[in-house]
Structure 1
Amino acid sequence: MVQWYKTWNNPLKNILWWLVIIGMLGSLPLAFTRNQTETSVNKVEFVFDYRDLLDIADIQTNPQSFVTEQLKNMKAAGIGSMAVYESTLSELRSSRRIEMFNSRDAMAMTQTFGEPNENYTYILFADNATQQKLEPLIQKTFGDLKVATKPWNFKNRSGLIIQMSMDDASIKTMDPDPITLQMLKDQGFQIVVRLSNRRPFVTNEMDRLLKSLHDIGVKRIIVDGNEVPGYTEENTEVNLNKMADLLHKNGIGLAAIELLKEPQKGFNTLAKQTNYNVVRLHSFTEKDGEKLTEPLKKAELQDRIQGVADRFVLAVKDRNIRMVFLNAKPVKSLDKGKLVDPLGAFYESLNGKDGAIPRIEKVGFTLGQAETFKVETTAWQKIARIFMLVGGVSLIVLMVTFFVPELALFLFVAGLLGAVALHALSANFYAQGLALGTAISAPSVAIMLAIRSVRSGVAAKWKSGIAYGLWQLLKTSLISLIGVVYVVALLNHITYLLVLQQFRGVGVLHLLPIAIAGLYLLFFSEKNTYVEKWAHVRRLLSSYISVLWIVTAGVALAAIFYYLSRTGNEGQASTVEKLFRSFLENTLGVRPRTKEFLLAHPLFLLGAYLAVRYKNAVYLMFIGVIGQLSIVDTFAHLHTPLHISLIRITYGLVFGALIGLVLIAAWEIVARSWKRWVPQLSK
């Protein structure tokens, strides 16, 4: 039995490599369809919050003239859409559609002494046309709330008395203001409506509302609040299915706001039921806008405006954003002694010098209503899953064989059975688990093969250290890219592109390949028995700890902490580095990762160059594992277009190699100078 196992286990390693390559080739068509999907639409929509415009206008001397002027300015700047909320009495008042009073104010106006126990809301319409449009809307809203209304007149102005306190009545949600919707449409704006879940979900009423929005040209809604319309504690699934049917019936899609602290409840269900009629939205918040109103020198303000433009370009180009939502608010400036707003700065950031819109159009996008991605599929997908399963498991097993080659056959069979079982339990967990396994395995295997080439003496046989270093950098990177193909193919569902699902466990990818390659370098890279390996471990653990060891450990922990602080979306960077990143982005179009081209790749190349003569240079090569895992991690940002990630890692390798060659030249100068001058100094 043992002999039979060895007979099959020993040649398995070479077979595993073929299975990995076949699996990768079988996965390439899925990666191609992913590229087709993310390049299927190129329209970008800039949306401004109309409610914010009303708030800014409310403090102006001539509010309505101000709104009219700013709408023209926005249209000229490239803002083609307006976001309109469900209306409230408070918003209708800001729009100058109505005036609103409490009972005390109404008594003072009419010079009467009313009922002391009354605290009602009194409203007056701006004119008869406004009354005809809004009175039915207001009466229906408060009628649904079981609140009585009755007519009221003051100095030939018609109005209503609402039997509810003004503070309470002013925030009750109604349908969007039909006068505003028509006015914006007439001025050529597309309309995006923000719908909330503040009103009871009634199918017929929602159908009526969505049909009216469809008739005015609304193609997409943005959820206002933490819950989608139709989300309830009871019968949630039934209501969300009804809401999805109504959206589909009226040809209206959704917008997914990126970087929310918490997902909007029910959004993923609604997105799925609408067949993912969803676009990604980047929000420029009121707080962001405040930074453009601070008392700054002209140069500082221009830097911030340029930063806003860069932000919009990156959102569209690097994160598949198709809708940019702009917010603003008036700010009291004590330094200027007046109220200010960021509208002028917005226009400059969009269409000024190096503005966002010309740059976005330059890379192939056009302005227009945002459209959902057209999901490309292939009949090869079902067959490819088999290749991905076998090839992915083979890659993980290959990584383990660097430590325990005797377990290759057992792990391969167990891995296949485990992967099939996991897929039966949850296709999502299976895809993410196998993707994470291959993402960790590929750079680990790549760097361990480079270490083995030095330990086995292969490096010493090369005549040219530069040729060996460049070859190792290229070969190691190509092996890491095998993991990229598996990750992209396994996670090619539209939900990852829209970030409705995220690739979990990516944080492990930042550390585990370093730990795996480090363990191999210290204990498994030499050709010795398991007894000798264990003896090496015991010697290391029983060694006396010196101050140097403590200092080294402290430096290593500090380096790990700094490294982790720089990874992920929450990574920190200094102001100088942000400026450097901006320079790279604006100069190259796509910014390479600094840890790749300034650290990992150059040191790997220098280490490989020196390893031809000095075996201990392998420890310098080991640092290159950071660059290799970064290559895979770049593509693990599944919302980034594939061609952008490919350009990014290519720049990283090219510039990393150039800097590495500079380091090699510097090493040779220092080494030769040392050899020349040290003997003379010792005389």
Structure 2
Amino acid sequence: MAQWYQTWNKPLKNILWWLVIIGMVVSLPLAYTRHQTETSANQVEFVFDYRDLLDISDIQTNPRTFVAEQLKNMKAAGISSMAVYESTLAELKESRRIEVYNSRDAAALTQTLGDPNENFTYVLFADSATQQKLEPLIQKTFADLKVGTKPWSFKNRNGLIIQMSMDDASIKGMDPDPMTLQMLKDQGFQIVVRLSNRRPFVTNEMDRLLKQLHDIGVKRIIVDGNEVPGYTEENTEINLNKMADLLNKNGIGLAAIELLKEPQKGFSTLSKQTNYNVVRLHSFTEKDGEKLTEPLKKSELQDRIQGVADRLVLAVKDRNIRMVFLNARPVKSLDKGKLVDPLAAYYESLQGKDGAIPRIQEVGFKLGPAEPFDVKTTGWQKIARIFILLGGVSLIVLMVSFFVPEATLLLFVLGILGLAALHTLSANLYAQGLALSTAISAPSIAIMLAIRSVRSGAAAKWKSGLAYALWTLIKTSAISLIGVVYEVALLNHVTYLLVLQQFRGVGVLHLLPIAIAGVYLLFFSENNTYRDKIANIRSILSSFISVLWIVVAGVALAAVYYYLSRTGNEGQASTLEKLFRSFLENTLGVRPRTKEFLFAHPLFLLGAYLSVRYRHAVYLIFIGVIGQLSIVDTFAHLHTPLHISLIRISYGLVFGALIGLVLIAAWEIIIRSWKRWVPQLSK
């Protein structure tokens, strides 16, 4: 039995490599369908929060004139849509459509003695046309809440008495203001409605509302709050299915707000039931806008305006954003002695020098209502799954075989059986687990092969250190890209493009390949027996710890901490580095990753060059694992278009190689100068 096992185990590595290659080849059509999907929607919609415009107008001398002027300015700046909320008495008051009083103020207004036991809300309409539109809306809203209303008038102006306190009544949600909707439509704006789950979900009422919105041209809603309309504690699935049916019936889609602290409850279900009629939305918040109202020098303000433009371009181009939502609010400026707002700065960031909109159009996007991705599929996917499973397991087993080659066959069989079982339990967990495992395995194998080339003496046989360095960088990066192909093929679903699903465990990718390659370099890269390896481990563990070791360990931990602080969406960067990043982005169109082209790739190239003559240069090659895992990690940002990621890693390799050549030239100059001048100085 043992002999039979060895007979099959020895040649299995070559077979595994062929399975990896076959799996990679059959995965390429799936990657292409993803490219087709993410390039199928190229319209970008700029939306402004109409409620914020009302807030700003409320501090102006002529509020209605101000709103009319700003709507024209927004249209000219490329803001083609306005976001309208479910109306409230407070918002209708801000729109100057009604006046609202409590019982005490109403008594003072009418110069009568009020009832001390009454705390009602008194509403006066601006004119008869407003009354005709809004009175039925207000009466119905409070009737549904079982709150009484009755007519009231003052000086030939009609109104209502609502038997509820003004503070409470002012925040009760109603249908969006029909007069505002019609006014915005007449001025040529596309309307985006923000719907909440604050009112009870009634199917007939929601159907009526969505039909009204459809008739006025609404194509998309943005959820206002933490729950989608229809999300309830009981019968949630039934209500969400009803809400989805109503959205589908009226041709209305959703917008997914990026970077929320918590996903909106029910959003994933509603997205699926609407066949992913969803676009990604980037929110430029009121707090972001306040930075443009601070007391700044002209040059500083221009830098911030340029920063806003860069941010919006990056969102659209690099993160599949198709809707940009702009918010603003008035700010008290004690330095200027007046109330200010960021609207003028917004217009300049959109259409001024190096403005966002012209740059977005230059890279192939158009302004217009945001459209969902046209999801492309292929019948090849079912067949490809088998080869992806075989190839993915083969890649993982090949990585483990660097440490335990005798277990290759056993691990391959167990891997196939285990992943097949996992797929039956959870297809999503299977896809993410296999994708993460292949993403870790590929750069680990790539670096371990480079280390083996030096340890085995193969590097020393090359006549040209430069040729060996360039070839090793190309070969190592190509092997790392194998993991990219599997990662993209396994997570080839629109939910990842829309970030409705997250690729879990990516943080492990930032450290595990470093640990794997480090263990291999220290204990397994030499061609010795397991007894020798164990002896080496015992020798290291029983060594006396010197102050130098503690210092080195401290520096290493600091380096790891710094590396982790720079990784992921929460990574920190200095102001100078942000300026450098902006320069690269604006100059190249796509910014290469700093740790690749300024650090990992150059050191890898220098290490490969030196390893032809110096075996200890292998430690510089080991540092290159950061660049290799970064290549794979770049594609783990699944909301970034594939072609952007390809350009990014290509720039990283090209510029990294150029900087590496500079390091090699500097090394040669230093060494030759040393050899030339040191002997003369010793005479």
Q: Pairwise mapping of residues 452-467 of structure 1 onto structure 2 (< 5 A)? A: 452-467=452-467
- Which residues in structure 2 correspond to 1:428-447 (within 5 Å)? 428-447=428-447
In structure 2, distance between residues paired with 1:474 and 1:641: 23
Paired position in structure 1 for 2:197: 197
Q: Distance in 2 between the 1:276 and 1:418 partners?
A: 32
For residues 629 and 185 of structure 2, the distance between their equivalents in structure 1, rounded to whole angstroms, comes to 50
Q: Equivalent residue for 2:282?
A: 282
Q: What is the match of residue 181 of structure 2?
A: 181
Amino acid at match of 1:30: L
User: In the TM superposition, what is the alpha-carbon distance from 1:139 to its structure 2 partner?
Assistant: 0.2
Task: Give the Cα separation in 1 of the matches to 2:549 and 2:621.
Answer: 21
SS in 1 for 2:321: coil
Q: Which runs of 5+ in 2 are unaligned?
A: none
* Separation in 2, partners of 1:326, 1:350: 11
Tell me what 2:654 maps to.
654
1:90 corresponds to 2:90: yes
Aligned mates of 1:109, 1:436 — CA distance in 2: 70
Superimposed CA distance per residue, residues 577-628 of structure 1 (whole angstroms, 9 cap, x where no aligned partner): 0000000000000000000000000000000000000111001111000000
Match of 2:490 in 1: 490
- What is the CA distance between 1:491 and its match in structure 2? 0.1
Q: Is 1:384 matched up with 2:388? A: no
In the alignment, residue 136 of structure 2 is paired with which amino acid?
Answer: P
Distance in 2 of aligned mates of 1:551 and 1:353: 51
Partners of 2:131 and 2:76 in 1: how far apart? 33
Partner SS, residue 152 of structure 2: strand
Identify the residue that residue 420 of structure 2 maps to in structure 1. 420
Q: CA deviation at 1:111?
A: 1.1
Give the corresponding residue for 1:20: 20
- Report the counterpart of residue 258 of structure 1 in structure 2: 258
Q: CA deviation at 1:383?
A: 0.4
**Counterpart in 1 of 2:120?**
120
CA distance in 2, matches of 1:550, 1:128: 83
Q: Deviations over 1:532-568 (max 9, x none)?
A: 1100111111111111111000000000000000000
**Structure 1 portions without partners, runs of 5+:** none
What corresponds to 2:598 in structure 1? 598
User: Is the partner of 2:158 in helix, strand or coil?
Assistant: strand
Show the 5 A alignment for 1:552-631.
552-631=552-631
**Structural mapping, 1:495-506, within 5 Å:** 495-506=495-506
TM-fit CA distance, 1:413 = 0.3
CA distance in 2 between counterparts of 1:102 and 1:531 reads 88
Query: Partners in 1 of 2:635 and 2:407 — Cα distance?
Result: 31
Structure 1 residue 677: deviation in Å? 1.3
Please name the residue that 2:404 is paired with: 404
Residue equivalent to 1:102:
102
Distance in 1 between the 2:115 and 2:656 partners? 82
Q: CA deviation at 1:320?
A: 0.2
**Alpha-carbon separation, structure 2, partners of 1:44 and 1:621:** 44
**Cα deviation code 1:295-336 (max 9, x no counterpart):** 000000000000000000000000000000000000000000
- 1:114 Cα offset (Å): 2.3
Q: Matched residues in 1 for 2:614 and 2:555: separation?
A: 25
Structure 1 residue 215: Cα displacement? 0.3
Measured in 1, the distance between the counterparts of 2:654 and 2:105 equals 73
| SS state at 1:519 partner | helix
**CA distance in structure 1 between the aligned counterparts of 2:104 and 2:9, rounded to whole angstroms:** 91
Shift in Å, 1:116: 1.4
1:73 to 2:57 alignment: no
User: Structure 2 CA distance, aligned partners of 1:603 and 1:107?
Assistant: 81
Distance 2:164 2:523 in 1: 78
Q: TM-score, normalised by structure 2?
A: 1.00
Deviation at 1:148, TM superposition (A): 0.5
Aligned to 1:52: 52
SS, match of residue 582 in structure 1: helix
Distance (Å, rounded) in 1 between the aligned partners of 2:155 and 2:598:
76
Q: 1:502-548 CA deviation, whole Å, 9 max, x = no partner?
A: 10000000000000000000110110000011001111111111111
Measure, in 2, the Cα distance between the counterparts of 1:524 and 1:678: 39
What is the one-letter code of the residue matched to 2:382? Answer: K
In structure 2, the residue corresponding to 1:158 is in which secondary structure?
A: strand
Equivalent-residue separation in structure 2 for 1:277 and 1:29 (angstroms): 24
Q: Render the CA deviation track for 1:236-285: whole Å, top value 9, x for unaligned.
A: 11111110111011100000000000111111111111111100000000
Q: Across the two proteins, how many residue pairs are aligned to each other?
A: 683
1:109 deviates by: 1.2
Q: Does 1:635 align with 2:635?
A: yes
Query: Which one-letter code corresponds to 1:297 in the other structure?
Result: K
* 3-state SS in 1 of match to 2:255: strand
CA shift digits 1:639-678 (9 cap, x unpaired): 0000000000000000000000000000000001111111
Cα deviation per residue 1:409-454 (whole Å; 9 max; x = unaligned)? 0000000000100000000000000000000000000000000111
SS at match of 2:384: helix
Of 642-651 and 99-108, more deviation after overlay is shown by: 99-108
Percent identity between the two aligned chains: 86
1:216 aligns with 2:216: yes
Between the aligned partners of 1:312 and 1:108, the Cα distance in structure 2 is 51
Following TM superposition, where does structure 1 have runs of at least 4 consecutive aligned residues deviating by more than 4 angstroms? Answer: none
CA deviation vs aligned residue, 1:161-180 (integer Å, no higher than 9, x gap): 00111100000000000000
Match in the other structure for 1:239: 239
1:680 is displaced (CA, Å) by: 1.6
| Partner Cα distance (2:628, 2:549) in 1 | 28
How far residue 347 of structure 1 moved from its aligned partner, in angstroms, is 0.1
Q: 2:228 aligned with 1:228, yes or no?
A: yes
Which amino acid in structure 2 is aligned with residue 484 of structure 1? V
Aligned-residue offset at 1:55: 0.3
Cα distance per residue 1:58-115 (max 9 Å; x no partner): 0000000000000000000000000000000000000000001111111111111122
**Aligned counterpart, 2:30:** 30
What amino acid maps onto 1:548 in structure 2?
L
Query: 3-state SS of the aligned residue for 1:322?
Result: strand
The aligned amino acid for 1:69 is E
Distance in 2 (CA, whole Å) between partners of 1:137 and 1:661 is 73
**Paired position in structure 2 for 1:298:** 298
Distance in 2 (alpha carbons) for counterparts of 1:581 and 1:175: 45
Amino acid in the other structure paired with 1:564? L
CA distance in 2 between partners of 1:61 and 1:294 (Å): 22
Take 2:644 and 2:426, find their aligned partners in 1: how far apart are those partners?
31
Show the counterpart of 2:530: 530
Aligned twin of 2:366 = 366
- The TM-score with structure 1 as length reference comes to 1.00
Letter in 1 for 2:25: L
Deviations, residues 186-221 of structure 1 (Å, cap 9, x unaligned): 000000000000000000000000000000000000
Partner residue in 2 for 1:539: 539
* Aligned equivalents of 2:673, 2:546: Cα separation in 1: 34
